[in-house]
Amino acid sequence: MIRNSLVFLIIGVLIAQDFTPEEILSYVASHPKPDNSITEIRLEITRKKKNKTKTKVREFTRYEKIYKSGKFKSKSLARFQKPKIVKGTSFLSWVYDNGKTVQWFSLPKIKKAKKVKAKEKSKSFLNTDFTYEDLENRSLGSDSLVNIGSEYLNGSQCKVIMAWPKGPSSYFSRKIWVNSQTWRISKVEYYISESKKDKTLYVSDFINKNGFSIAGKMIMEKENGNKTVMEVMSYKPDIGLKDEVFTIDFLVKK
């Protein structure tokens, strides 16, 4: 009985412990990742205009490779499969070890890679509510962070962090909810000024496979009523991808 009480006391101390925002986001980033993976993703893009609602469906395959050494941290390629009007549209991203991200996209009609310029990163990614900047992997040093306390979200306690970008960004700040049991991001609010919220990201339905896990559903809701739902249809970790998949030549390949 005494032993059980001691265990619960230790757990309580750990839960109540005040972590720095840097430590919290380090725990988020510390989840094991496969060396490479293939993910099939379905998009539902909802647009509201006056009293009408219109939804488009897109499907794409995402290839990703994680590097344990060298100048790269990760590389990823997204290639759209459906519908026919967007089939072959592709997006390539390289994340360097220093946190810098370089992105290109290719349209099947032009068969040429176009680099995403810094001033274009605030633009919509293929008419979704995600921007090119949203698709970047932000390193810990990219933002000034402040821990503003704890809140319950969907029955789970979350640590809440404010993040202000140190460099150029389309956002004034982001408010981040991190589940303090799973150390996963559950929600992010994006602000374009100190008091004006632009949109909110909801992250849920995590998929666990072979010791790895990813978010099964991400919903980006704009304040104007528009919404994009990104849902994982299949996830295959450690599939054995070659470096050539993440080249500009492969990006423009049909």
Domain ranges of the chain: 24-142+208-251
Radius of gyration of the chain (CA): 20
Residues 6+ apart with CB under 8 A from 123: 131, 132
Check pLDDT > 90 for residue 40: yes
Could you tell me the pLDDT band of residue 1, with boundaries at 50, 70 and 90? very low
Check pLDDT > 50 for residue 28: yes
In this predicted structure, what is the pLDDT of residue 135?
86
**What's the fold here for domain 24-142+208-251?**
outer membrane lipoprotein receptor (LolB), chain A (2.50.20)
Query: Average per-residue pLDDT in the chain?
Result: 90
In this predicted structure, what is the pLDDT of residue 6?
45
In this predicted structure, what is the pLDDT of residue 55?
95
Could you tell me the pLDDT band of residue 17, with boundaries at 50, 70 and 90? low
In this predicted structure, what is the pLDDT of residue 8?
37
Q: How far apart are CA 26 and CA 149, in angstroms?
A: 17
- For residue 251, the SS3 value is helix
Q: What is the mean pLDDT of residues 165-193?
A: 96
Could you tell me the pLDDT band of residue 121, with boundaries at 50, 70 and 90? confident
In this predicted structure, what is the pLDDT of residue 222?
96
Q: What is the mean pLDDT of residues 139-152?
A: 92
Check pLDDT > 70 for residue 61: yes
Residues 6+ apart with CB under 8 A from 165: 142, 143, 144, 171, 173
CA nearest to 124, candidates 220, 196, 217: 220
In this predicted structure, what is the pLDDT of residue 254?
66
Check pLDDT > 50 for residue 205: yes
* Structure tokens that stand for 217 in this block: 């559903």
Check pLDDT > 60 for residue 16: no
2-14 per-position pLDDT tens digit: 444 444 334 444 4
User: What φ, ψ does residue 238 adopt, rounded to 5°?
Assistant: 50, 60
- For 3, 60, 104, 134, 220, the CA distances from 86, given in Å and listed in that order, are 61, 10, 16, 21, 21
